[in-house]
Amino acid sequence: MTHPLVVTLDRKSAPRTIFAGDRLVEVDMPAGTRVIYPRAPLAALKDPDAAIRYALNHPHGSDPLHAKLRPGMKVVIAIDDISLPLPPMRRPDVRERVLTIVLEMLADHGVEDVEMIIATSVHRRMTSEEIRHIVGDRIHSKYYPHRLYNHDAEDAKGMKELGTTEMGEVVELNRKAVESDLLIYVNLNLVPMDGGHKSVAVGLCGYRSLQAHHTPQTMRNCHSYMDPSSSALATSVERMGRLANKTLNVFTIETTVNNRMFDRPLEFLHKNEDDLSGSERTALRALRFTLDKLPQPARQAIFQKVPSPYGITGVFAGETEAVHPHTLAKCYEQYSVPIRGQADVLVTGIPFISPYNVNSFLNPLLVSVMAEGYLFNMYRNAPLVKKGGTMIVTHPCTDQFDKEHHAPYIEFVHNLLPETRDGLELHKRFEKKFASNPALIQKYRSGHAYHPAHPFFMWYWGEAGRQHLGRVIVVGADNEYIPKLLGYQTARSMPEALEMAQSHHGPSPEITMMHMPPIVMADVTV
């Protein structure tokens, strides 16, 4: 018997509505297609502040936070950046709630030397307003910019090497954090690949440390990112995090949120199209029509400028490895849907957002990150699609980039991808030189651009998917050039794409559709 969230379509089923960037498209899927829907949002904690206080006072594998404090000590608080959650959370963000309580506790114990670092690693620096959004007005006005600032992975004097793991991975972290008496990490765990040792060992590191695991080979050995026990990336990060935790006094605070990505007027987006009421069907049609007519910036504003009403579902604190299993369990409880058997064809819409384009456009490289990277990897045990299978995605693949945030991506896509799409070759021939471009490094340090190594990491993100999939077909691309650069085949419509897939998988391929966002991941049994 299949799970209620796995719906098998028949001849009478309504068309499915899926994302194609910041538009919604209606696609007719053949009878027999399995559609996986996201779980309903878990119930939010009724009193999150009480839950935060409880977690700080009843931590896992550690003394309570108050017992670690003494007057005059140096405390650094590292905070997850704006790449989580997606879209940003309606205020107060859970990080603001946690920080408010932690800062009160520090003040009560005579701890005045407090600095807060946004753990951006090689992500772009957050703007003042973005920081304000996650920490709140009071904390922002009191601490920003001198005691609340972005991590700078290229500030040679601001980084400190802690050592090398038994596998030769160099652990180099933010000096302020390393030299503090206590490092408190405030995390927001959106998906199972977040949190744990990744928070400190990646969030506060630089390019030297990232080179240990952000490689095409490591990414090919992740099955999947969402299952840390089968991810070479997670294994490497854990080794580095353990080494860091031997030297540092780390107190981890992890939080989880539910799946309430869309507020009430758009809530129907995660429902089975056959179960929509009359008014919901009309609203969906109206939304689709409006999005079709609006110019792109307006569509982006509709989805990105409206924060999501996420509910807080868990707060866990203490020693990193003791905390994380509780966080992971909550994530799986929210996202995981059991499904039996792999498909020949996996169909999914690519939405308007990824962790790397908050407040900017989902450029072609991020389309690939979403397709072969995140969406392919939304599984445990086995991929949703068979080895050599077909992935069909819907997206316009517009050749558009945010010139500030994604400056290094432009050269990567237009100058390097035409040379080769082979991750190993890109890594060997181009990465180091490109990542040391002084102008791009300066844009990362004083502007709001991603580090020049980041586009390479983004390409590697799709390596496991690229190795596994036989082909990716994109439906609705507005040009042929970008799909060709990404290695995609193109189809004008879903029936055409399915016909192309049939030529590889026979006349009746097994088709599975992932209906997201909101986030859903599959526990696949073969």
Partner 1 sequence: MAASYFDVDGTLLTTNLLHPTIFYLLNQQNPLRSLGKLARTAVRAPQLVLAEMRDRRLFNEMLFSAYEGMSEDRLHCLADETFDAVIKRALFPHARDLVQTCVDQGHEVVLVSGALDFLMGRLAAFLGAHTVIANRLEIKDHYATGRLLRPVVAGPEKARLIRDHAKLKGHDLDDCFAYSDSYSDVPMLSVVGHPAAVNPDAKLERLANAYGWPIVRLEKESRPKRGLTGTVRELLS
**50 or 439: whose CB is closer to partner 1?**
439
438 binds partner 1 (CB under 8 A): yes
Angle, nearest 10°, between helix axes 128-135 and 94-108? 70
Classify residue 333 by burial, with Cβ atoms within 10 Å: 0-12, 13-18, 19+. middle
- The 353-392 site mask, x for binding partner 1 (CB under 8 A), equals ----------------------------------------
**420 or 442: whose CB is closer to partner 1?**
442
**448 or 466: whose CB is closer to partner 1?**
448
447 binds partner 1 (CB under 8 A): yes
CB of 145 to partner 1, least distance (A): 11
479 binds partner 1 (CB under 8 A): no
Separation CA 121–CA 202 (nearest Å): 6
- Tell which residue, 520, 512, 521, 518, has the closest CA to residue 33: 512
CB of 224 to partner 1, least distance (A): 33
CB of 159 to partner 1, least distance (A): 13
Q: Do residues 197 and 246 touch, judged by C-beta distance below 8 A?
A: no
**286 or 439: whose CB is closer to partner 1?**
439
Q: How many residues does the chain have?
A: 526
440 binds partner 1 (CB under 8 A): yes
CB of 440 to partner 1, least distance (A): 6
247 binds partner 1 (CB under 8 A): no
Separation CA 244–CA 209 (nearest Å): 12
**115 or 399: whose CB is closer to partner 1?**
399
Q: Which of 35, 441, 491, 516 touches partner 1 (CB under 8 A)?
A: 441
43 binds partner 1 (CB under 8 A): no
**32 or 418: whose CB is closer to partner 1?**
418
Q: Do residues 345 and 385 touch, judged by C-beta distance below 8 A?
A: yes
Separation CA 409–CA 123 (nearest Å): 13
CB of 366 to partner 1, least distance (A): 17
Tokens of 243: 């080494």
Q: Give how far Cα 308 sits from Cα of 19, 123, 132, 312, 403, Å.
A: 17, 22, 16, 12, 26
**100 or 400: whose CB is closer to partner 1?**
400
CB of 156 to partner 1, least distance (A): 7
CB of 161 to partner 1, least distance (A): 16
CB of 335 to partner 1, least distance (A): 38
What is the separation of C-alpha 139 from the centre of its chain, rounded to a whole number of angstroms? 26
**370 or 407: whose CB is closer to partner 1?**
407
Q: Give how far Cα 135 sits from Cα of 78, 105, 450, Å.
A: 12, 16, 22
CB under 8 Å to 387, separation ≥6 — which residues? Answer: 468
Parallel, antiparallel, or unpaired: how do β-strands 148-150 and 379-380 relate? unpaired
Host H or E run for residue 312: strand 312-318
Tokens of 494: 């879903």
Q: Which stretch binds partner 1 (CB under 8 A): 133-141, 353-361, 410-418, 518-526?
A: 410-418
DSSP reduced 3-state for 291 = helix
Separation CA 470–CA 489 (nearest Å): 11
**42 or 397: whose CB is closer to partner 1?**
397
Parallel, antiparallel, or unpaired: how do β-strands 16-21 and 23-27 relate? antiparallel
Q: Which of 230, 249, 296, 437 touches partner 1 (CB under 8 A)?
A: 437
115 binds partner 1 (CB under 8 A): no
**440 or 501: whose CB is closer to partner 1?**
440
Tokens of 169: 């991975």
CB under 8 Å to 491, separation ≥6 — which residues? Answer: 392, 473, 474, 475, 497, 500
442 binds partner 1 (CB under 8 A): yes
Tell me the backbone φ, ψ of residue 153, rounded to 5 degrees: -75, -10
Q: Which of 333, 411, 422, 523 touches partner 1 (CB under 8 A)?
A: 411
**154 or 280: whose CB is closer to partner 1?**
154
Q: Which of 90, 271, 445, 484 touches partner 1 (CB under 8 A)?
A: 445
DSSP reduced 3-state for 74 = strand
508 binds partner 1 (CB under 8 A): no
CB of 120 to partner 1, least distance (A): 17
Report the site for partner 1 in 151-180 (rule: CB under 8 A).
154, 156
Q: Do residues 151 and 123 touch, judged by C-beta distance below 8 A?
A: no
Q: Which stretch binds partner 1 (CB under 8 A): 10-18, 350-358, 436-444, 458-466?
A: 436-444
Size of the site for partner 1 (CB under 8 A): 21
Q: Which stretch binds partner 1 (CB under 8 A): 182-190, 277-285, 437-445, 472-480?
A: 437-445
CB of 418 to partner 1, least distance (A): 13
**3-state SS, one letter per residue, for 455-505:** HHHHHHHCHHHHHHCCEEEEECCCCCHHHHHHCCEEECCHHHHHHHHHHHH
410 binds partner 1 (CB under 8 A): yes
Residue 91 has what DSSP assignment?
Answer: S
Separation CA 521–CA 384 (nearest Å): 10
146 binds partner 1 (CB under 8 A): no
CB of 446 to partner 1, least distance (A): 4
Q: Which residues bind partner 1 (CB under 8 A)?
A: 154, 156, 403-404, 407-408, 410-411, 414, 436-443, 445-447, 449
